[in-house]
A and B are shown apart, each in its own frame.
Chain A
Amino acid sequence: MDSSEPLPSGEPDDRPAVPAQRSDQDAYLRVRDLRVRFDTEDGVVRAVDGVSFAVERGRTLGIVGESGSGKSVTSLAILGLHDPKRTTITGEISVGGRQVVGLADEEVRRLRGRDMAMIFQDPLSALHPYYTVGRQIAEAYRVHHPKANRREARQRAVDMLDRVGIPQPARRFDQYPHEFSGGMRQRAMIAMSLVNDPALLIADEPTTALDVTVQAQILDLLADLQAEFHSAIILITHDLGVVGQVADDVLVMYGGRAVERGSVEQVLRSPQHPYTWGLLSSVPSLHGDADADLVPIPGNPPSLINLPPGCAFHPRCRYADRVGSRSRTEVPELRAAGADGHLVACHLSAEERAERYAEDVASVGVAR
């Protein structure tokens, strides 16, 4: 991608110069101490427990985590898609200066689609099988442009289909989702999310269901559209490779909390949290020793109903014993770690982390 404008997006060279969180005030999306709880029969699920971050226009935040880390719940909270009867949301979510938490349904609906939009993992379940693809996109446009007539909406939808790289958009307009291939469907959904020029785009595992050659096309398309529309993007994924390729900043979540945050350089090149280390050394790579064993993280991701006390990662952490009982009694705060804007929530001291990383992690897996 070569953006001639001084856009931060996609210019890897200018990344280190930009601190990850320089001033939240300019950010289009600001999330402060977000907490999302569900009351269920089995108990209270603390799906998100005090997460803060900000995304400026033109930048991409990658949220990384495994199942149950709270990454998708966070994005649904931003979009106001949780059922208010079952969900308690506290904290602050500001989208373009407007507070979303506590806003009436009707108001959130007005923001949704126009100011913020979502791309889901599975386009087949996000598109209605009974209506043509074009009609659904035109409908999304008319919801926020009540003055637009049928023909204008159709024209807009055809333009969007064209923009996301669907050949013969006018013919494709009248086809049904099942007539589209997987990659085409994902493009159609991107067209639908972008039809109202939202400033904030949340993509939840947008390429997980796709083949790698198609994934590459979709990631390129997102980067390209971001350069054009200058949107803020949140990319939720479990794939660190995808994050490394498209994100400017990274938030690593575990058990509903942020455990590490920083620029993509900081988090992937000098990771600070043992969980991030574990993720990096457990991923098989195309480089390095193919015969060496991968270094898995022992155990399983925790249940959010019954989160381990203290640091939620401590039962899986090799270093938990080094800080005595603190790992079991005290939730570590997100604190500055080394370079500007790099934050980590870990009881280990900075010296200890540096030492452990150098000795145990840097020489194994892909973290090398």
Chain B
Amino acid sequence: MTDEPLLRVRGLTKHFPVRQGLRATGLVRAVDGLDFDVRPGETLGLVGESGCGKTTTGRMLVRLLEPTSGSIEFAGRDITHAGRRELRPLRQELQIIFQDPYASLNPRHTVGRIVAMPLQVNGIKPPGGVKARVQELLELVGLNPEHYNRYPHEFSGGQRQRIGIARALALRPKLIVADEPVSALDVSIQAQVVNLLRNLQRELGLAFVFIAHDLAVIRHFSQRVAVMYLGRIVEIGDRADIYERPQHPYTRALLSAIPDVTQLGPAGRIRLTGDVPTPLDPPSGCRFRTRCWKAQDVCATEEPALVPRDGGRQATACHFPEGEAASTSPEREEPSTGPEGEAASTSPEVAGPITQLVEEVPS
């Protein structure tokens, strides 16, 4: 693994205008200034709840969406605003796997045609012929190469996802953006697909941007993890740092909210109140402050920068990051009076009776 990143993203931003009639009435700040690198052969896990901008980010990386601002550099070339013609050779090296294995395959095309499509579009004639290459790919993802002539409806969900993976691999990409590749699958099938992707990564030296809402899946797949909230990265670091020494309150809350099968009964959890605010009008300052039990006045006025800590591998965007004792539960009940009393009732309750659960952010 060289230190030269394969993918370098700086200040990546996507705003969607909201129109009523002809007037633009607002902006959805779906993604707002992301910085990250992905090195060859490395997996970066992008994790966050719905509306955090992870899918929008993935689509910008493969240029299915045009970034509003910022830059995307792939293998040393700036592809932020590359046109169709410039993009064509890049598409070979940069592929995407979609979440829904039912919607992402054309039901009228045979599997052979679906997997061969990237080769045709790019005018590639593999030695030995298209059919041989397609069958090789089907075999690589654990499908029967004889099923070349079947249609998607003849396959189960897990097998369809394998077809999507075979299609993404057809052009021997260097980087694959995988957008929730297993979340539509049955539990027993998820593990098959996760293992397949891991083996492919090892064998082919692929780099991945692995997008998921499931922190446990991300943990089994990623060397680096970026946690997103409302269009921003709130924390990024090596897997062990994120899972064992989370410094951002949101990362900690997210980790503690996952029902883990190794723990029976009601768990001592950090309870976040309310829902994620709307990206139409994100909170001022730190975007997490409306749900954060540590929020102070400064959080409303000043946006925390993503600051590297501990030698630079882990960075946290928080005014009050967790210290060394991060692994203990948050018994500290600091009076968290936010500005204008807005975040007044957001102190976390740990495994106590629920007295007040919700403080919704006025939209």
Contact with A along B323-363 (1 / 0, CB 8 A): 00000000000000000000000000001111011111000
Residue of B215, B254, B265 with highest tally of chain A CB at under 10 A: B265
Which A221-258 residues sit within 8 Å CB-CB of chain B?
Answer: 221, 223-224, 238-246
A287 near B49 (CB under 8 angstroms)? no
Residues of A within 8 A of B275 (CB): 181-184, 214
Residue of B217, B219, B220, B269 with highest tally of chain A CB at under 10 A: B220
CB distance from B158 to the nearest CB of A (A): 7
Checking A244, A287, A296, A297 against B259 with a beta-carbon cut-off of 8 angstroms, the contacting residue is: A244
Which residue on chain B has the smallest CB distance to residue A285? Answer: B216
A24 within 8 A of B: no
B158 near A215 (CB under 8 angstroms)? no
Contact with A along B258-289 (1 / 0, CB 8 A): 11111111110101110110000000000000
| A contact patch SS | helix
Residues of B within 8 A of A297 (CB): 188, 191
Q: Considering the chains assembled together, what is the distance between the CA atoms of A280 and B191 in angstroms?
A: 11
A287 near B260 (CB under 8 angstroms)? yes
Which residue on chain A has the smallest CB distance to residue B156? Answer: A300
Which A265-308 residues sit within 8 Å CB-CB of chain B?
Answer: 265, 268-269, 278-280, 282-287, 290, 293-298, 300-301
With A279-B187, A284-B194, A294-B191 as contacts: A211 and B264 at CB distance below 8 Å: no
B8 within 8 A of A: no
CB distance from B357 to the nearest CB of A (A): 4
Which A163-200 residues sit within 8 Å CB-CB of chain B?
Answer: 165-167, 181-184, 187
Which residue on chain A has the smallest CB distance to residue B265? Answer: A12
Checking A166, A221, A296 against B188 with a beta-carbon cut-off of 8 angstroms, the contacting residue is: A296
Q: Considering the chains assembled together, what is the distance between the CA atoms of A219 and B267 in angstroms?
A: 11
A220 near B271 (CB under 8 angstroms)? yes
Residues of A within 8 A of B353 (CB): 1-2, 224
B260 near A241 (CB under 8 angstroms)? yes
Checking A67, A214, A294 against B186 with a beta-carbon cut-off of 8 angstroms, the contacting residue is: A67
Interface range on chain A (Cβ under 8 Å from partner):
35 or more
Residue of B186, B189, B213 with highest tally of chain A CB at under 10 A: B186
Residues of A within 8 A of B188 (CB): 66, 278-279, 282, 296-297, 301
Checking A187, A211, A242 against B276 with a beta-carbon cut-off of 8 angstroms, the contacting residue is: A211
B257 within 8 A of A: yes
With A217-B357, A290-B239 as contacts: A212 and B213 at CB distance below 8 Å: yes
CB distance from B100 to the nearest CB of A (A): 14
Which residue on chain A has the smallest CB distance to residue B352? Answer: A2
Residues of A within 8 A of B189 (CB): 296, 300
Residues of A within 8 A of B272 (CB): 213, 216-217
CB distance from A153 to the nearest CB of B (A): 23
Which B140-154 residues sit within 8 Å CB-CB of chain A?
Answer: none
B175 within 8 A of A: no
CB distance from B330 to the nearest CB of A (A): 15
Residues of A within 8 A of B186 (CB): 66-67, 238, 301
A264 within 8 A of B: yes
B49 near A217 (CB under 8 angstroms)? no
Cross-chain pair count, CB within 8 angstroms:
164
With A211-B50, A224-B354, A286-B243 as contacts: A294 and B261 at CB distance below 8 Å: no
Q: Considering the chains assembled together, what is the distance between the CA atoms of A290 and B254 in angstroms?
A: 18
A10 within 8 A of B: yes
Q: Considering the chains assembled together, what is the distance between the CA atoms of A211 and B351 in angstroms?
A: 19
Which B204-241 residues sit within 8 Å CB-CB of chain A?
Answer: 213-217, 219-220, 239
Residues of B within 8 A of A67 (CB): 186
Checking B239, B254, B263 against A213 with a beta-carbon cut-off of 8 angstroms, the contacting residue is: B254
B117 within 8 A of A: no
CB distance from A210 to the nearest CB of B (A): 9
B216 near A283 (CB under 8 angstroms)? yes
B190 within 8 A of A: yes
With A212-B213, A283-B187, A284-B217 as contacts: A293 and B198 at CB distance below 8 Å: yes
Which residue on chain B has the smallest CB distance to residue A292? Answer: B220
B192 within 8 A of A: yes
A290 near B261 (CB under 8 angstroms)? no
Checking B266, B356, B357 against A245 with a beta-carbon cut-off of 8 angstroms, the contacting residue is: B266
Which B278-321 residues sit within 8 Å CB-CB of chain A?
Answer: none
With A166-B358, A220-B357 as contacts: A244 and B258 at CB distance below 8 Å: no
Residues of B within 8 A of A223 (CB): 266
Going nearest first, the 7 A-B pairs with the smallest beta carbon separation are A12-B265, A241-B259, A296-B191, A282-B191, A211-B49, A294-B191, A297-B188
Question: Could you name 19 residue pairs across A and B whose Cβ atoms are closer than 8 Å?
Answer: A1-B353, A66-B188, A181-B275, A182-B50, A212-B254, A213-B272, A216-B269, A239-B187, A239-B259, A244-B260, A282-B191, A283-B187, A284-B217, A285-B260, A287-B262, A290-B239, A297-B188, A300-B158, A366-B260
A interface residues, Cβ below 8 angstroms from B: 1-2, 10, 12, 15, 66-67, 165-167, 181-184, 187, 211-217, 219-221, 223-224, 238-246, 264-265, 268-269, 278-280, 282-287, 290, 293-298, 300-301, 366
11 additional contacts, CB 8 Å, given A215-B259, A284-B191? A165-B356, A214-B275, A217-B271, A241-B261, A245-B267, A287-B260, A294-B191, A294-B220, A296-B192, A297-B188, A297-B191
